[in-house]
Structures are given as structure tokens and as C-alpha cells.
Chain A
Amino acid sequence: MSQHSRQGGESGTEPRPETEPGLAEELEQEAAREQGAPAGLEHGEDTADRLAHALQQTMSHPWTVAAGAILLAVVVGSVMIAFTDERVTAAAGYFFARPADTFVALGDAIGGAYSALFRGAVFNPRADGLAAQIRPLTETLNYATPLITAGLGVALAFRAGLLNIGGQGQMLIAAAAAGWVAFGVTGLPFGVHTLLAVVAGIAGGAVWAGIAGVLKARTGAHEVIVTIMLNWIAFYLLAYFLATPGLLQAPGSSNPKTPATPESAQLPALLGERYNLHWGFVLALGAVVFVWWLLNRSSQGFAFRAVGANPRAARVAGIDVPWATVKVMLVAGGLVGVAGASQVLGQVTTGFGGDIDAGIGFDAITVALLGGSNPWGVLAAGILFGAFKAGGTAMQASEGVPNDIVLVVQSLIVLFIAAPPLVRAIFRLPDPERRRTPRRARTIKKEAAA
């Protein structure tokens, strides 16, 4: 997505003299004509033109495409719910006798599912009192916490031209490191212990991503393959830790599960004990600001972006590209590590198993793509997917619609966003790259008339 939108944006705003010979001169002529001879255009026509232009810009804006993609994905999800709903299939059996029944059943199934999603993710009017009614919203933020930090890790790597598919492995190692500090180190006061555990998680994630960075920088191995392999290695490594007494396995148990996170190492509740939301969310917000500062306000971030935009040019400009690759992977892994630590210290405090990553490593990729690899976009995308997760759980509980539909809707959103031409074709949105075509046609016509 990041690459695509960058491509789209650049080619939309700049004339491309290489691709279309003569276009640059034509544009110059056009600009000169607009400056020199405004008298040819009537005022009203100008306003209408501008309005149309503004509308066209809005319609071809990436956000419109994102909204279209979300809408499409939700429609597909509805179709899936409708087709597998028993009442709908039963009513469809006598569709021609009483077609209304089918539509009622359809509405019930889809409406029920999505209203359950809403009740689980945003606001539950059925609960008693406002405090309980807004509980779903805090759950959404709770689910969003690791998605945001891990999404930032993936997005940062994207900006440096690296695809960090290794979120899962980095989270698992980070969880193992944070868990090891939480269970293994005792006697530390509250606060220090938590801090140390979070730092251990960051270090764990950074090391695991750093391996990929070093291999990429030193040997040129493709980071996608390396990170995928590291995912599986981390998975089995954690499985070994969990199954070995004295490492991470809970004492006196033969299950591959850790003991509960001690009170002194937990991230405290943010809004009081009645909500699950913990200080990890503040950590995530801090990470958003940090990444924004790093990318947009620091020379280091500039170096990362330069490497991502054009490694060869970056090298000529004096940037040590291999070292920048290692550094960006270290920071990205550290960010994913925060997600791993917040899972262990905030979300799953009763002891964790090999599935502590909960698919967040892969969700992070979709979050980063949806967020356009921009920290604020990642924040929004993380909260949206957090809402899907919180709502999906509620939907499964109350309507019996499997949670897996959330996976489908999420991946469809990313697929559609990654291919703007497809969404534009479906919704008949204008293409920003063709914005100049009608005008040029008009000028040519005018030239012909003159």
C-alpha cells in the first residue's frame, strides 16, 4: 500500500516527461494560457469547474478508496453470514412461496451480527449504567494496544523499504523475555519490575528483528524469507522454553504454559479495576508519538526514509545503508517487542502458552498497510481492527457467527486497499492519475478551433 500510494501520489502530482514525450511542453503551454488569458473563461463556469475539480479530488482521495474498501469487505462478510445462517437457508427453501420470509431472515442474520459487533466494540445499550455501557469501547482500545505497537514496527520497516513479516516471531521472543524477567526476577518493587520486564521485551523483539537486519545487510538475504523462517524458529524455541521446567514452564505443571504474571510486574489498569484497559495503551500512544518524531523530526528517520525511497541515492548521499537497515530492524523489532510485553504484562496475566502472539504479528502487517505506514494512520487502523476483534468476540458469543469472519473482512480490506483501481472500478470513482485528461482534451479542441 505504502509503495502504491506513493507511486500514485507522485505520478498524480508531477508530470512525467519520460513516459509521455511532449506532455511537459503541453502543460507549460496550458499554464501560460491560464495565466495570460483568463478572459476566455466565464466566471460561473470557473466555479463549477473548481467544484467539480474539488469533488473529483475528494472522490479520488486515498481515504475514499479506503472507505470503499472497508464497505466492500463488510458486504462480502454479510454475504458469508447470510449464506451460512440456518434461518436464511430454511426460509430460502420456500423462497417462491413466501419471499418476504427470506428477506426478514436475511435482515435478522446480518443485522443481528453487525449489531452484536457494534455492541461488542463501541457501545452496549443493553448494559446497566453508562460505566458498563462504554465498557466495549475500552475493550476495543485494549485489543488495539498490541496492534498499534506491532503495526508501528511493521510500518517503520516499510518506510525503510523493508517488509517485516516477522512480527509473530518478534512478539514470541519478546513475550518470552518479558515473561522471563517477570517470573524469574523476584524482589523488585512495583514499577521497577514492570519497567524492567518491558525493557526485556523490547530487547527481545529488537534482537530477533536485528538478526534479520544483520542477515539482510551482510548477506543480502531477502528479509521476507528470513523473517518467516525466524517466526517458525521462535515458535519452536518458545515451545521448548514452555515445555522445559526451570525455563518458562510453570513449576509443578506439565502443561506448556507459564506461571501467572506476578502483580509487581503487571501493567496497572488505566481506568480502574472494572475495565481491562491497562497502561500498555499509554505506552502504545507514546510509541505513536515516538515513531512520528523519529520519522518526521529526526535525522535518523530521514536516513531511514531515504534508504526506503532509494537505497542507491542514500548511499551516494553518505548514508551507511547496511547499518541503517540493521538499525531500522532493531527499532522495528523493539516496537513489536512492546506489543509482546504488553500481551504478557497486561492482557494475558494468568500465564501464557505458545499462542501468546494471538495472530497479532500478522494482523500488524494489515494494520500497517491500512494505516498507510504513517504513525497516525496506524493508530486509526489499529483501533479499527481492535474494534473488529472486540466485536468479533461478542458476535461469536451472542450470534454464533465464528470469529474467523473478522480475519476474512480484515484481509479483504487490505487486499482492496492495495489495489485502488479495483475499488475505483467497482464504485466508479475517478482516477487521480487521469485528472488532467479532460482538460487536455479541451485545450486541444480549443487549439483546433483557433
Chain B
Amino acid sequence: MSAAVEAPGAPGTPSDTIEKRHVTQVGWKAAGGLIVVGALFALLLVTVPREGDTRFALSRDADAIQIPVLEIPAMPLAWACLVIMALVAAFSVVRTQANRRTPIWVIVVFGVVFLVGFLAWAGAGSSGTLPIVSLLSGSLLAAVPLIYGSLSGVIGERSGVINIAIEGQMLAAAFTGAIAGSITGSPFAGVLAALLAGVLVALVLALFTVTHRVNQIIVGVVLNVLVLGLTSFFYSQVLVPNAATLNSAPRFSTWTIPLLNDIPVIGPVLFDQAPLIYLMYLVVAGVWFALYRTRWGLRLRAVGEHPKAADTVGVNVEGTRYRALLIGGACAGLGGAFYTTVAVGQFGLNMTAGAGFIALAAMIFGKWDPLRAAMAGLLFGFALNLQSILGVVGEVVPSQFMLMLPYVVTLFAVAGLVGRSRPPAANGQPYVKG
């Protein structure tokens, strides 16, 4: 194909110019994005200036180390943040001019500073206090199912099977988690049952996509509808009449980790949580290690990138994909267990409410990498939680737009505006041996 394109041959052919433009475009996206966000924030500060102070609470009443409530004049702080943002953007522009990428930590710094500035602006003049600890721990909790779900997607898609059924896996897991927890009276049994339910949905997905080679997206979409129908049916037929015995699951109590818990701000956020959250730290690290540092992970990634090559050297493609999907299903099952063993003690109709799709978004935003996907999950969890916090200081942005944010960000991410996001090469293609 390339020979046919290059046949005209003369310098300055369309293909030449397209190549050059492509290179510069990739470079400018990050810097351009920072400038646009900075400009929008400046516009906000100029057009809607707000008076008064913003109160940040950095510790809870129960914490060992008390930090007094910070009362900072809002507009100066917001403008100071804007100046820092402008400096970061300028740094990014300089880097780009030298044809070098903007490092990820620079963008993270930019984002944190922007959030501080935005919170300062949003909380200005309010009598309420911005509870930073509960803002962050709430974000972490909101992110738990997203992170577990995105891991399910990462493992499956790294092996070449698109997993749209994360939502269904989590919903089925939440359902069985509630029942098993209620019957046994133990949240651990609930988690185990939820895990198995996630695996079961993944098994159906694998049966249809890997064995029968049905279009993976279709199976995923249909499985979501199937699980929604099944859980809704049995919820109203079985769980509602027997709510006391089948739908009142015990919840995990928080396990406080001594010493680490006493670290200001971070301690109560990270080390005063339910065991399922500690398990999440381990699972994220474990999946990362397994994917990049073990023979199993290398084979799995090879199957996702070039199944024929993997098959040629003796890797069992179908078996690898089955295992990957089942392990992913277990992860999504843990995410579903969060709903009925940590967040709420009972199942509700369609209680995952699209979290599976945000998890999918987090996976794409995280470029099919467990650590980045977890970071993206945290970011989306923060966005979901932010609107409830902003309710404390009075609503400044319509809540619908805050809820929309993860999806808009993902849209930009897949459109390549926030760095390039490339799926595994063989993603979505069934493998036919021979």
C-alpha cells in the first residue's frame, strides 16, 4: 500500500506534508490544552469575580494532629494559582518548541494547582468550610469501583478482548454480594460471592467472544442488558419480599492502620478505610507487576498485540484470553462488591448506574496501563465527588456539568487531544488459528 502512495515520488507530495504536520501536532496538544484551561480559568476569574475568604479544613475532629482551619482570601489565592498555571504552561510551550514532550508530572502539578484555585474561587465568601479530608477520602471511595473495573478492562483488552461488560460484571457482583453477605452475615463471604459472579459473567463473555468469535462489543453490550434484566427481575421477585433475610448485608468496618493513620491529611484518607480499599492498592500493584514483570504478562501482552506471533512461538492464545478475562472478571467482581459490602449494605435497582462505563473511560484515559488507569479512576472519582462537596459551599457550577466531566474528558482523550491513546493492536479481533 505504501508503495502505491509514494509512487508519484516528487518531494513535497501530500504524504510528506501530512507526516510533518502530524509530528508537530502531537507536540502541541499538551501545551495547547494547558493554555486553553488556563485561559478559561482566567476568563472565569475576570468575568465572575467573587469576594471574601475561603475556609479549608485540613483535619477532622477525630484526628490526632489538629491543623487549624485555613482562612485564605479567595481571589488573591485564585490569581496566585493562575500565575503558577501560566508559568507551567509557559514551561510546556518552551519544552514543545524544543520538540520535547511535556512530562506527566508537570501536567499533574498544573491540575492540582488548578483545582486549588478553582476550589478557592468556588468557596469564596461561603460560611461553609471546604473539608479537604472528606473531599479526598470521598474521592477515593468513589474511585474504588472505577479502579477495580478499569483493571478488569485493562487485563482483558491487553489480551485482545474488548470488555464492554464491566458494568454487567459489577452489577452481577453487587447483587450476589448482597445476597451472600445477608445469608452468611459475613462481608467476606459477600466479597467472595461477588468475585465469583464477576468471573461468571466474564466466563460467558469469554465463551461467546473467544470460543464462538462473536463480535466482542455486541456481546459486551448485550451482557450488560442481560445482567440488568436478571438482577432487576430477581430483585423485585425475590429480594424485595425477603429484604430482611436476603438483602441486608453486613458492611465492612474500617480498619485503621496505626501510625500511618496519624499522618496529616493523607493518613485518614488512605489508611482509615475498609479492607477492600487496602486490597485495591495490592491488586493495582499486583496487576502492574504481573503484566510487566512476569512471563505470564509478557505472553498476555503478546497475545493482545500479535496473536499469530504468540501462537507461532507456542503460546495458547485462546487459553490466555480465557484466563485474562476471568481474572479481569474477578477484579470487576471486587469492584461490584464495594457497593454492597462497603458503600451500602443492600442491593438497589441498577445500582452501579454507569460506573462500568466510567471505568471503561478510565481504562482508555489510562492508556491500557494499570497504574495510569488507577490514576484516571482517582481523577474521575474526584470529579464525581466534587459536586457533592461544592454543594456544601453553595452550587456554583450546575451539578450536571460536574457529572458530565469524566465523559467529556474521555471524549477528548480518545480523540487524541490529551496525548495519544493507542489500544492493543489485536484488540477486538477474534483469533482464528491457522
If A312-B1, A418-B214, A419-B212 touch, whether A225 touches B410 (CB-CB below 8 Å) is yes
The total of chain B residues at the interface (CB under 8 A) is: 43
Q: A-facing mask of B188-221, CB < 8 A → 1, else 0?
A: 0000000000000000000010001011011101
Cβ of A232 within 8 Å of any chain B Cβ, yes or no, is yes
Cβ of B284 within 8 Å of any chain A Cβ, yes or no, is no
Cβ of A283 within 8 Å of any chain B Cβ, yes or no, is no
Q: Would you give the shortest CB distance from B205 to chain A, in whole angstroms?
A: 10
Residues of B within 8 A of A362 (CB): 221, 225
Q: Which of B107-115, B123-131, B230-238, B370-378 contacts A (4 or more CB under 8 A)?
A: B230-238
**Contact call B400/A240, Cβ cutoff below 8 A:** yes
> Which residues does A use to contact B, with CB under 8 Å?
1, 3-4, 19, 80, 84, 163, 165, 215, 218-222, 224-226, 228-230, 232-233, 236-237, 239-240, 243-244, 312, 362, 365-366, 369, 401-402, 404-408, 410-412, 414-415, 418-419, 421-422
Q: A-facing mask of B38-56, CB < 8 A → 1, else 0?
A: 0000000000000000000
If A229-B410, A407-B226 touch, whether A224 touches B212 (CB-CB below 8 Å) is no
Cβ of B411 within 8 Å of any chain A Cβ, yes or no, is yes
Q: Which of B11-19, B270-278, B303-311, B353-361 contacts A (4 or more CB under 8 A)?
A: B353-361
Residues of B within 8 A of A369 (CB): 218
Complex Cα spacing A411 to B401, Å: 32
**Contact call A219/B164, Cβ cutoff below 8 A:** no
**Contact call B222/A224, Cβ cutoff below 8 A:** no
Complex Cα spacing A163 to B414, Å: 16
If A229-B361, A233-B404 touch, whether A84 touches B238 (CB-CB below 8 Å) is yes
Complex Cα spacing A352 to B411, Å: 28
Q: Would you give the shortest CB distance from A333 to chain B, in whole angstroms?
A: 16
If A84-B234, A221-B415, A228-B360 touch, whether A411 touches B423 (CB-CB below 8 Å) is no
- Nearest to A215 among chain B residues (CB) is B415
**Contact call A407/B410, Cβ cutoff below 8 A:** no
- Nearest to A421 among chain B residues (CB) is B212
**Contact call A402/B226, Cβ cutoff below 8 A:** no
Main secondary structure of the interface of B (DSSP, over half): helix
Cβ of B132 within 8 Å of any chain A Cβ, yes or no, is no
**Contact call B229/A405, Cβ cutoff below 8 A:** yes
Q: Would you give the shortest CB distance from A369 to chain B, in whole angstroms?
A: 6
Residues of B within 8 A of A4 (CB): 214-215
Residues of A within 8 A of B226 (CB): 407-408, 411-412, 415
Q: Can you add 4 more A-B contacts, CB < 8 Å, to A218-B415, A407-B225?
A: A232-B407, A233-B404, A240-B401, A410-B229
**Contact call A419/B214, Cβ cutoff below 8 A:** yes
Complex Cα spacing A228 to B222, Å: 14
Cβ of B408 within 8 Å of any chain A Cβ, yes or no, is yes
Q: Would you give the shortest CB distance from A101 to chain B, in whole angstroms?
A: 21
Q: Would you give the shortest CB distance from B39 to chain A, in whole angstroms?
A: 22
Cβ of B314 within 8 Å of any chain A Cβ, yes or no, is no
Q: Would you give the shortest CB distance from B264 to chain A, in whole angstroms?
A: 36
**Contact call A402/B237, Cβ cutoff below 8 A:** yes
Residues of A within 8 A of B8 (CB): none
